[in-house]
């Protein structure tokens, strides 16, 4: 299984830099087995059945991009750009610093009058930061000083702005910790949720704090040797019971987004749906046996990415090639702010 098996040509004009408004007006490609239908996200209730269950990731994206100043020996300050990656034990944060070589361990970077951090060490090209605030005080100071961490393919085209604080967050975001959004969930608004409830569709919430590693390229030609980044997640006992009950009753379990899918498949690795809390580095590629997932709602993914491998595992590589060829030909919008697909294996 080669990396090139998951490649395709994508015209740059199809990469979305802003979302559809309203959210549920985005396009929806529905693939049921070999049949492809062009629809709109607001039509999603028509494609689901009473008794189906959508699994939603309730992680909340933090404004993880910071710009600060490092002062040394009373001299002129140097501008340092910081991207928070993940919390570490002992109240530390792993972060990318630009330029890292200009910062010494023990130095303090000031981001605002209310927020600064000491560089306590470094690990594999990343800095370890200890902030001067914790808990709610840290959240408030970060909210005031930080910017939303837009994906690289958007950030290369424009800077994050105030609108992204709303656009790059799901309406059910609750538990802070992600540095990337579960983007399939960005299509949902209150009207769509009401329509789904009226249809008899149920919802379960899980948490997977999406890390910046989700954008890391696959660098090995034999994809089976790729090592996934680890991310923290939780499936509560209540959510596990809801998902198990839906399957027992003959309903379909449909994660909204690859993050929710990876988490529930981690929780079901033993064969039955179980509560889970901890880090998962599950890697899903063709040949994977799905134990919890019956269908998937997801956006359109990068060529040669682990997410292309995941959707190929669910639908089959040949089907995915046809789905993506159709999406390109019909000019669907791609990636985080782009359109959606509903993938139902035959």
> Residue 212: what pLDDT?
79
Tell me the fold of 3-61+165-344: QueA-like (3.40.1780)
Pairing label, strands 92-98, 59-61 = unpaired
pLDDT at 180: 93
**Averaged pLDDT, 315-344:** 98
- For residues 102 and 80, is the Cβ–Cβ distance under 8 A? yes
Q: Which DSSP letter does residue 23 get?
A: G
Q: pTM for the whole thing?
A: 0.93
Which ranges constitute the DSSP H helices of 135-225? 135-145, 152-155, 162-167, 190-199
User: Residue 220 corresponds to which tokens in the numbers above?
Assistant: 């090995």
- Write down the pLDDT at residue 71: 77
Give tens-digit pLDDT for 228-278. 888 999 999 999 999 999 999 999 999 999 999 999 999 999 999 999 999
- Which carries the bigger pLDDT value, residue 137 or residue 346? 137
Place 213 in a pLDDT band, splitting at 50, 70 and 90. Answer: confident
| pLDDT, average across residues 283-296 | 97
Which H or E run contains 32? strand 27-32
Q: What is the pLDDT of residue 233?
A: 96
Q: Does residue 211 have a pLDDT over 90?
A: no
The average pLDDT across 99-112 equals 92
State the average pLDDT for the chain. Answer: 94
Q: How confident is the model at residue 74, as a pLDDT? A: 61
298 CB-near residues (< 8 Å, 6+ apart): 184, 257, 258, 261, 307, 311, 340, 341, 343
Q: Are 322 and 10 in contact, with CB atoms under 8 Å apart? A: no
The rounded percent of the chain whose pLDDT value lies above 90 is 84
Query: Residue 344 above 80 pLDDT?
Result: yes
Q: Where are the domains of the chain?
A: 3-61+165-344, 65-145
CB 305 within 8 A of CB 6: yes
Q: Residue 150: phi, psi to the nearest 5? A: -60, 145
Specify the pairing of strand 65-70 against strand 108-112. Answer: antiparallel
Q: Residue 87: what pLDDT? A: 85
Residue 101 has pLDDT above 80, yes or no: yes
**Architecture of domain 65-145 in this structure:** Beta Barrel (2.40)
> What is the token pair recorded at 285?
């590629």
Please say whether the beta carbons of 253 and 56 come within 8 A.
no
Give the pair of three-digit tokens for residue 31.
Answer: 């693939």
Establish whether domains 3-61+165-344 and 65-145 are of one fold: no
Q: Which H helix or E strand runs over 232?
A: strand 231-235
For position 219, what pLDDT does the model report?
84
Residue 196 above 70 pLDDT? yes
Grade residue 108 by pLDDT with cuts at 50, 70 and 90: very high
Distance CA 23, CA 224 (A): 36
Q: Give the strand pairing for 115-123 and 126-131.
A: antiparallel
**pLDDT value of residue 73:** 65
| Cβ atoms of residues 146 and 65 within 8 Å | yes
pLDDT at 217 over 80: no
Give me the pLDDT at residue 164, please: 96
- Look at residue 216 in the predicted model and tell me its pLDDT: 72
Q: Which of 86, 78, 134, 132 is nearest to 104 (CA)?
A: 78
The 10s digit of each residue's pLDDT in 18-76 is 999 999 999 999 999 999 999 999 999 999 999 999 999 999 999 999 999 997 766 56
């Amino acid at each position: 299984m080669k990396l090139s098996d998951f490649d395709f040509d994508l015209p740059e004009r199809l990469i979305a830099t802003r979302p559809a408004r309203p959210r549920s007006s985005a396009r929806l490609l529905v693939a049921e087995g070999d049949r492809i239908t062009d629809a709109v996200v607001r039509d999603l209730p028509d494609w689901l059945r009473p008794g189906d269950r959508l699994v939603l990731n309730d992680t909340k994206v933090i404004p993880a991009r910071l710009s600060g100043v490092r002062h040394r020996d009373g001299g002129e300050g140097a501008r340092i750009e910081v991207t928070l990656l993940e919390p570490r034990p002992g109240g530390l944060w792993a972060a990318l610093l630009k330029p890292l070589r200009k910062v010494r361990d023990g130095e303090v970077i000031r981001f605002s009058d209310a927020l600064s951090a000491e560089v306590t060490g470094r690990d594999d090209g990343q800095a370890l930061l200890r902030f001067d605030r914790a808990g709610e005080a840290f959240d408030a100071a970060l909210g005031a000083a930080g910017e939303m961490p837009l994906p690289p393919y958007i950030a290369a085209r424009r800077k994050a702005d105030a609108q992204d604080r709303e656009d790059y967050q799901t309406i059910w975001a609750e538990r802070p910790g992600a540095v990337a959004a579960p983007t399939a969930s960005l299509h949902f608004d209150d009207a769509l949720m009401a329509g789904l409830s009226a249809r008899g569709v149920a919802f379960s919430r899980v948490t997977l704090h999406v890390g910046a590693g989700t954008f890391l390229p696959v660098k090995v030609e034999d994809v089976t040797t790729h090592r996934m980044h680890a991310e923290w997640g939780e499936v509560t006992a209540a959510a596990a019971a809801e998902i198990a009950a839906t399957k027992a009753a003959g309903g379909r379990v449909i994660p909204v987004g690859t993050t929710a899918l990876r988490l529930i498949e981690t929780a079901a690795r033993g064969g039955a749906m179980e509560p889970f809390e901890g880090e998962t580095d599950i890697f899903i590629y063709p040949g994977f046996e799905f134990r919890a997932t019956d269908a998937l709602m997801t956006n359109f993914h990068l060529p040669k990415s682990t997410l292309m491998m995941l959707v190929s595992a669910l639908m089959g590589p040949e089907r995915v090639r046809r789905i993506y060829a159709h999406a390109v030909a019909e000019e669907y919008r791609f990636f985080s702010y782009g359109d959606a697909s509903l993938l139902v294996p035959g």
